[in-house]
Amino acid sequence: MDIKLHTPLEESEIINLKAGDSVLLSGTIYTARDAAHKRLIDLLDEGKDLPLNIQGETIYYVGPTPAKPGKVIGSAGPTTSYRMDAYAPTLMDLGLKGMIGKGDRNSIVIETIKRNKCVYFGAIGGAAALIGRSIVKSEIIAYEDLGSEAIRKMEVKDMPLVVIIDSNGNNLYDIGKSEYLASLE
């Protein structure tokens, strides 16, 4: 059964999520990849404000393709998340609650997820067109010069996701490996 969530994410909702839960996410999310993340951290290091308020927000690690005529956006599949691992803890400490991507995260990110009661969602790699259909609105809000890696504000409706790392640090990748190895015994 899918769990329906709406952004901004509330801690009271996040703490009930478990690694492996299927989620349908609706509301506003933001996009950012490594180049945009570096610029965000550079702004913070300079004592400047970010171009968005990240309190309770969710960032999707994606560089979507251009929209075809009559469409809001092109393909919007997740990018590999570890490239944001150097930046994610700072943003979570400032109030970011959700991240969407693919692949595992490092131990520092996992500890920060636990400390701040955040959640890391996995989007299905290879299903970029399907994910793109759940995006109903998209506008660039910062770093237009980065092209597909610009920061976008998106409205999503029932975006299909899986909880990969829950607020207790339970990691679906580790759980899956353990269950598989146990099945071999």
Find out whether 175 and 149 touch, Cβ atoms under 8 Å: no
CA-CA distance, 151 to 169, in Å (whole number)?
Answer: 27
- Count Cα neighbours of 143 within 13 Å in the Cβ-side half-sphere: 24
CA-CA distance, 34 to 7, in Å (whole number)?
Answer: 23
- Chain segment 67-100, per-residue pLDDT in tens: 888 888 888 889 999 999 999 999 999 999 999 9
What phi, psi does 46 have (nearest 5°)?
Answer: -90, 0
> What does DSSP say about strands 58-60 and 22-31: parallel, antiparallel, or unpaired?
parallel
Where in the sequence numbering do the catalytic residues fall?
Answer: 37
- Chain segment 32-59, per-residue pLDDT in tens: 999 999 999 999 999 999 999 999 999 9
CA-CA distance, 167 to 118, in Å (whole number)?
Answer: 5
pTM: 0.93
